[in-house]
Structure 1
Amino acid sequence: MNRLTLSQRLSAVFAVLLLACCGASAWLQIAGSTRHEQEIVQRVSLDLARQIAGSSQLMDKDGLRPQAVRRLFSQLMAVNPSVEVYLLGPQGRIMGNDAPPGHLKRDSVDIAPIRQLLAGAPLPVLGDDPRSLHGRKVFSAAPLYIDGRDHGYIYVVLMGENRDALAADLNANSTLHTILWSIALVALLGLIAGLTAFRLITRPLRKLTAAVRDFDSGDAAAVLPPAPRPNGGERDEILVLRQAFGQMAQRISDQWAELSRQDQQRREIVANISHDLRTPLTSLHGYLETLLLKADTLDVAERRRYLEIALGQSRKVGRLAQELFELARLESGLVRAEKENFSLADLVQDVFQKFELAAEARGLRLHADVPRALPPVSADLGMIERVLTNLLDNAIRHSPAPGTVRVALQNRGAGVRVQVSDEGPGIPAELRETLFERPSAFSRGNHEGGGLGLLIVRRILQLHGSDIRLEPDTGNGAAFSFELASASP
């Protein structure tokens, strides 16, 4: 059974149930027809026993006349061969009959059904068949009185032995065949209709099964064409299942594409980091090797210059390793933002103090636009300080002298918007789409980092439920913005 398909199993179960239902229907029909016939026969012949009991031929001054009883019974059974007449005692003992020798199987009859019939019980009422050990048949009965005394009952079996033999012969030749052929025809037509219906009903399920079997996460749309979207009252479970699988397949396909894209980005990051590490390490190795080979020929000034260059390259490698470690921690999912309420305006002033000397050395001015009644924000103070530090560092390095680097704060009701802008050349068009996804030349510049600053900024803001945004190109430098949630009152 387990080797059959769902459609085949449903068809087999349906065929068995159909045959069982046809058999039960035929049995109920035959039983109902038989009971109906019994009721009609009993109702029509209900007074037959009473008429026989009132016959003067059954008694004389000395009581019952056995020969007359046998002769009358024989005449009645000759006129109507389907009836059998018996004379019963008060307790149901058979005292007179005209049965052929050996046909009588009982010597008494249960009188309880007789009393029920005489009391007017609903028809048909079945009583014992004297010619059968266990058979029960419809009958007519009447009490027999002689000189006012109860002498028993007249008991008439209305559908006797002769009638049963004739009915059995007819059933064997006609009725039974008709019923069997009717059942077979109904079962065949029902089976054909059921198998066709099952095939039509399960066809979408077979298609869905084939789609699941052939599913390729890289091309889900080709495997399963879009199904009509079910409305709110849709009752077709297969259509709903197909729609759900289509959505799941599309989601898996999108997730696979996103994983592939992220994997490609990681490969590019590794390649960029490898390149950025190789350059300073090669320079560091070269200067240290030169110092080793020419230690006796270099004067103090040259030796000091070589050492300073080597130290600078060492710092660059250290800073790159620190950025890479920080980015890995942020993407690991283990870092959580420890939020607290603080004034963003105060934090901006603190960060400005860190860059005052660097800005003055490059001929730049730092300016903060802070509105009055600016609400505090709820965020991780250290992380947001790192965001502002990275953005201001990029802005200062890309702003020509003289120029101004601005940090503008704006109250947005549910949050505070922060914008950091400079007056540099702006972001090239070819870098805009991937600026926050991979190390960029804009973020790298000439400083000692590896171009990971904007990636770190974006990951920190995502931990706060926000994101970094590059404002549309205005032709006057670059502007980055993000929002932080206001502190709850």
Structure 2
Amino acid sequence: MNLTLTQRLSLAFSALLLACCGASAWLQIRSSDLHQMEVVQSLSRDLADHIAHHTTLMDANGLRPDAVRQLFSQLMMVNPSVEVYLLDSQGHIQGDDAPAGHVKRDNVDLAPIRQFIAGHALPILGDDPRSVAGKKVFSAAPLRSNGAQPSGYIYVVLLGEEHDALAARVAASSVLRTTLWSMGLVALLGLLAGLFAFDLITRPLRRLTEAMRRFDADGEPDTQPAVPRSASAGRRDDIAVLETTFAQMATRIGEQWRALTRQDQQRRELIANISHDLRTPLTSLHGYLEMLSLKADTLSESERKRYLAIALAQSVKVGRLAQALFELARLEHGNVQLALEQFSLADLVQDVFQKFELPAEARHIRLRASIPARLPNVCADLGMIERVLTNLLDNAVRHTPAHGEIAVDLAHQDGKVSVTVSDTGPGIPAAQREGLFERPFSAGRAHSGGLGLVIVQRMLQLHHSQISLLERTETGAAFRFDLPAAEKLAVAGIAR
């Protein structure tokens, strides 16, 4: 059967409740019967002894069955529920007043009789002569003639056949039916209360199950089903804890899935942009080389040199792009290990400036470094930080117009050294700022960072740092990142 958890719990509870009610009813009836037998046996404890001492059931010849039958008939007329039997010393029935065929046994076990005479705790059940295996409460007393050993026993069954017949008639009466109906009503009310309690307890679990069934990690945040959160989430409630945990898990899975989707989209854009960036210089390189091959005899020396210079420049561009791709692949796959050391960031800035002096002078661009006094050293990978500064300055030189300025400002605050690289170029439009350090833009966009900014971001992430684009009121773009300061102080630099 394909049943829900609530249905299975309800069926199990119903079965247990019915079993408990049945057991309770049986125990109650059994306890009532034992109580009744104890009361009857206690009240009639001396009945057999009274009969033995106030009647003549024996003479010189032994037991007198005729006297016994007469006496027994009189007693049973006074109290129809009792049955009196005369037993010999071995427990064999010697006299009774039972109708023909009603006595099913010819002897009675004497062990319960001896326990009764010895005064053991009541109730004590003895053999019922009128049934094959029945047990009933009784009263018993020994019969002695001259010797110390009993010559026989008076055995009185206190709840005989007449009592059983009357009890059977009463069992079918309205009193018993009312009692059973009352017990059934109590059981039904208990069942309804239990089913309601199970429904109330499992309601949060059903909500959670429905939310899990409708959960879609690929969906947008505004299309996701509401994840249930119990009002008792702060209490020690297992279901509430499960709801909270699932809510956290669903949020995290959704975020991770959307991050993977964005990364896949960025990968597709990266491939498309790289294909575009490679196709343009390769096409130009192929065209000029083909021109040199086909028209080698007709071109002048100056034309050949110009074509070769263009082809060489395109070849260098392709080589730089391939190197950047190789470096980005190493950074993405975690194959780079940091070689941390302490060094002077002021000296590194001066060294990087020397790389760009000629390109900057050719375009009449001023390079300026602002380095405060007593600037501490930094602890980082020297080669990577040099590459970071190189990429940032390369972008700044390419996008700064003639007679512009490129500035590198260093500052020490809260145990970190901040680096700000700014230029006076056209800046970055607001539409292109989102994801600037996550994917390269095509070459046609203004101030495109290409792979350079992506590589810068990956290298700084390895240093547990981030690069950010600063908001500026003037023209140009400004990038900033921080590095941890070392204990040793560097020699103060001078702004130039």
TM range (shorter): 0.7 to 0.9
Q: Which runs of 5+ in 1 are unaligned?
A: none
Distance 2:46 2:487 in 1: 100
Match runs of 1:430-441 below 5 Å: 430-440=431-441
Q: Distance in 2 between matches of 1:214 and 1:87?
A: 84
Following superposition, the deviation at residue 183 of structure 1 comes to 5.1
The separation in 2 between residues aligned to 1:469 and 1:220, in whole angstroms, is 27
SS in 2 for 1:280: helix
Partner of 2:209: 209
Q: Could you tell me whether the CA contact under 8 Å between 2:273 and 2:442 is conserved in 1? A: no
Paired amino acid for 1:420: V
Which amino acid is 2:430 matched to? A
1:94 corresponds to: 93
> Aligned equivalents of 1:94 and 1:458: distance in 2?
111
Distance 1:363 1:184 in 2: 100
> Which amino acid in 1 is paired with 2:385?
I
How far has the Cα of 1:460 moved from its partner? 1.4
Going from structure 1 to structure 2, the CA distance change for 1:443 and 1:337 (only over 3 Å counts) comes to farther
Question: CA 1:436–1:239 in 2, change beyond 3 Å: closer, same or farther?
Answer: same
* C-alpha separation in 2, matches of 1:159 and 1:219: 82
Counterpart secondary structure, 2:466: coil
> Displacement of 1:453 after TM fit?
0.6
Alignment map for 1:387-406 (pairs within 5 Å): 387-399=388-400, 400-401=402-403, 403-406=405-408
Closer/same/farther in 2, CA of residues 247 and 409 from structure 1, 3 Å limit = same
Residues 418 and 481 in structure 2, CA contact (< 8 A), matched pair in contact too: yes
TM-superposed deviation, 1:386:
1.6
Whether the 8 Å contact between 2:105 and 2:132 is mirrored in structure 1 is yes
Give the whole-Å Cα distance in 2 for the aligned partners of 1:488 and 1:59.
124
* 1:142-197 residue CA offsets vs partner (Å, 9 max, x unmatched): 23333463324322111112212332243245566556545544444444444444
Q: Deviations over 1:192-224 (max 9, x none)?
A: 444444444444433433333233331465453
Aligned position for 1:227: 228
Residue type of the alignment partner of 1:162: E
Distance 1:190 1:220 in 2: 45
Q: How much has 1:60 moved relative to structure 2?
A: 4.6
Displacement of 1:404 in angstroms is: 5.0
Alpha carbons of structure 1 residues 110 and 253: separation in structure 2 relative to 1, 3 Å: same
Contact 2:408 2:419 in 1 (8 A): no
Q: Which amino acid aligns with 1:246?
A: A
Offset at 1:343?
1.4
Residue in structure 1 matched with residue 493 of structure 2 by the alignment: none
Measure, in 2, the Cα distance between the counterparts of 1:233 and 1:40. 58
Q: Residue 418 of structure 1 aligns with which residue?
A: 419
Determine if contact 1:426/1:475 at 8 Å carries over to the other structure: no
Correspondences of 1:58-457 after superposition (within 5 Å): 58-60=57-59, 64-147=63-146, 149-151=148-150, 152-172=152-172, 177-178=177-178, 181-182=181-182, 184-217=184-217, 218-219=219-220, 222-228=223-229, 230=231, 233-331=234-332, 333-345=333-345, 346-361=347-362, 362-367=364-369, 369=371, 371-372=373-374, 374-377=376-379, 379-399=380-400, 400-401=402-403, 403-413=405-415, 415-440=416-441, 451-457=450-456
Answer yes or no: is the 8 Å Cα contact 1:337–1:380 preserved in 2: no
Partner Cα distance (2:63, 2:13) in 1 = 65
Asked whether the 8 Å contact 1:141–1:154 carries over to 2, the reply is yes
Distance (whole Å) between structure 1 residues aligned to residue 228 and residue 166 of structure 2: 66
* TM-score (norm: length of structure 2): 0.85
Return the alpha-carbon distance in structure 1 between the equivalents of residues 451 and 472 of structure 2. Answer: 22
Would you say the 8 A contact 2:229–2:243 is kept in 1? no
Q: TM-score, normalised by structure 1?
A: 0.86
State the alpha-carbon separation in 1 of the partners of residues 389 and 35 from structure 2. Answer: 98
Judge which range, 459-468 or 213-222, deviates more: 213-222
Q: Is residue 287–residue 307 contact of structure 1 (8 Å, CA) maintained in 2?
A: yes
Match of 1:45 in 2: 44
- After superposition, the Cα gap between the structure-2 partners of 1:339 and 1:78, relative to the gap in structure 1 and judged at 3 Å, is farther
Higher mean displacement: 40-49 or 65-74: 65-74
Q: Is the 8 A contact 1:221 1:250 kept in 2?
A: no
Distance 1:17 1:23, change over 3 A: same
Instruction: Decide whether the 8 Å contact of 1:83 with 1:156 is kept in 2.
Output: yes
Partner-residue secondary structure (3-state), 2:39: helix
Residues 338 and 380, structure 1, Cα contact 8 Å, conserved in 2: yes
Equivalent position SS for 2:376: coil
Quote the offset at 1:287 in angstroms.
Answer: 1.8
Quote the Cα distance in structure 1 between the aligned partners of 2:397 and 2:15.
85
Measured on the aligned residues, the alpha-carbon RMSD in Å equals 3.2
**Amino acid in the other structure paired with 1:389:** T
* Of 362-371 and 104-113, the range deviating more from structure 2: 362-371
SS in structure 2 opposite 1:86?
A: strand
Superposition deviation, residue 306 in structure 1: 0.6
The one-letter code matched in structure 1 to 2:114 is R
- Deviation (angstroms), 1:27: 1.2
Q: Work out the CA distance in 2 between the residues paired with 1:422 and 1:126.
A: 112
CA distance in 1, matches of 2:191, 2:144: 62
SS in 1 for 2:482: strand
Q: Is the 8 A contact 1:35 1:124 kept in 2?
A: yes
Percent identity for Structure 1 against Structure 2 = 62
Question: How many Å apart are 1:303 and its aligned residue?
Answer: 0.6
Deviations 1:449-487 (A, max 9, x none): 971111111111122222112223152643322223456
**Greater alpha carbon shift after TM alignment, 62-71 vs 134-143:** 62-71
Report the residue type matching 1:372 in the other structure. R
Could you report, residue by residue, the CA deviation over 1:99-146 in whole angstroms, capped at 9, with x for unpaired residues? Answer: 333333333333332333333333212122222232211111223333
Helix, strand or coil for the counterpart of 1:88? strand
